[in-house]
Structure 1
């Protein structure tokens, strides 16, 4: 590595060469050095080593700003920093803590008033118009084990999907999958069933993972294995909402197909249209179901 440029020579005080230009950032410093990019004078403190010579800090910053960040096959700017995933986990944990505090019990937090107001309960949606339950129920959990399992799955899937899909697309995918799970329960579930949990959205992320793997022409075996195992558990374990899981899985996979196979020209417009269309279809299905129940 080349040594950092030094000027003036050792022993000669700064400003002792009035015939030399001064550094724009430090007018009290005369310098014989220049930026190889803009050719402006610059003192050693204001120069940074480049591939050829030295550049001033202004040119370095300008160059960094003009560099285009890489985009993924979905059209999102790739970033390893997770934002949406930890926020979603925090919201789920916060609501669990609130319901546990209201109920005075961690194991039976479903006794809380807030839980009763937000959980998925078909008669409350159909007769009382409490549509928010289709979504809010996806942020509630029955006990700490239910919460822990879903949050671990959310983190594992979000860690892989959020950097690739970007924050906006990942948020849309999670939200629409969650809504899909709630609508599936509303359409086909029993009238007295009480359903809660982020499983519908998590299964939507599983479906997204499978579609993304197929789009990239990778081996789908591991993704299919994970989905198959979870579907089998949904059938065999008691107290699990199979409809919510399947609804989230199907909706998440279909929406992801709309995102990853969108035509490159005006891709963002096509993807936004896919999200709006998915929400519109789910809303229409819920309204039709309401008309059948009321």
Structure 2
């Protein structure tokens, strides 16, 4: 009787189905038919391509949209940064709004008018706690991925940023001067407005979206929620998408329309700048 090629002191009657060498029970690796030796198993595994992290990222990008995922990543990164700074300041991570960085980036109309021009833009990527972040990012994933597939990356990002400007302009005009506003909600409402325009253009059913929008607008009347910012983002997102859809085959006209809308919103945001 033969002995195992790896353990000469062990007699065996089993051979590797690939190389034919005798193998003992400790060296037997089940195959589709019979058993394989450890060397052939390693050689076979070496030729198998393992899924790479880069491939996983590409698959996620194709499914959800690279712009959508990048926006989510930016929001999450700022939350983690402000939460970390809150911890260093002796607070809990959920009190991220208490960090100095958060206070320097949130939109406060009177401070914007005083010359702190960055606040209307940076505020759209801040969130008050984990629940606020989670709800907005879930909405961004759902609406953003759908619109990115429909409009394309550049147009989707344009609608998102114009929605941010629309919400910021409305906050500057209608919120209390010393009130603090932050969150991606202005852009999320803009995406809902954009999706409404797309569905209308495609002559699809609007009742589901209108019901969701009505519920969210009712929530906007709750204390601490910026109704002005939500409505401003909604109107701006719908207007930007209307321009892009109407001029979809006339690129110069689409660019001109978006530029004009952006200029109007920027003037409204910074009209009180002194």
Q: CA deviation at 1:150?
A: 0.3
Aligned twin of 2:228: 243
Alignment of 1:186 onto 2:169: no
Could you tell me which of 76, 101, 110 is aligned with 1:123? 110
Give TM-score scaled by structure 2 length. 0.74
Could you tell me how far 1:288 is from its partner in structure 2? 2.9
| Contiguous gaps of at least 5 residues in structure 2 | 1-61
**RMSD, aligned α-carbons:** 1.3
Please tell me whether the aligned partners of residues 163 and 236 of structure 2 are also in contact (alpha carbons under 8 angstroms): yes
Is 1:274 the counterpart of 2:261? The answer is no
Greater helix fraction, Structure 1 or Structure 2: 2
Mapped pair 1:146 → 2:132: yes
Deviation at 1:206, TM superposition (A): 0.1
TM-score using structure 1 length: 0.69
> Which consecutive unaligned segments of at least 5 residues does structure 1 have?
1-78
Q: What is the CA–CA distance in structure 2 between the aligned matches of 1:103 and 1:277, rounded to whole Å?
A: 40
| 2:244–2:254 contact (8 Å) kept in structure 1 | yes
Q: Secondary structure at the match of 1:226?
A: helix
Instruction: Report the CA distance between 1:80 and its aligned residue.
Output: 5.3
Q: Which residue of 2 aligns with 1:112?
A: 99
Q: What is the CA–CA distance in structure 1 between the aligned matches of 2:198 and 2:68, rounded to whole Å?
A: 18
Taking a change above 3 Å as real, the CA distance of residues 154 and 263 of structure 1, as seen in their structure-2 partners, is closer
1:81-110 superposed Cα distances (whole Å, 9 cap, x missing partner)? 610000000000000000000011222101
Query: In the TM superposition, what whole-angstrom CA distance separates every residue of 1:190-236 from its partner, at most 9, and x where no partner exists?
Result: 0110000000000000000001111111111111111111111111x
Partner of 2:269: 286
In structure 2, distance between residues paired with 1:241 and 1:285: 17
| Corresponding residue for residue 221 of structure 1 | 207
Question: Among residues 141, 156, 162, which one is paired with 1:176 in the alignment?
Answer: 162
CA deviations on 1:97-128 (whole Å, 9 max, x unpaired) are: 0000001122210111110111001121111x
The alignment of Structure 1 onto Structure 2 pairs a total of residues equal to 209
* Counterparts of 2:270 and 2:84, CA distance in 1: 35
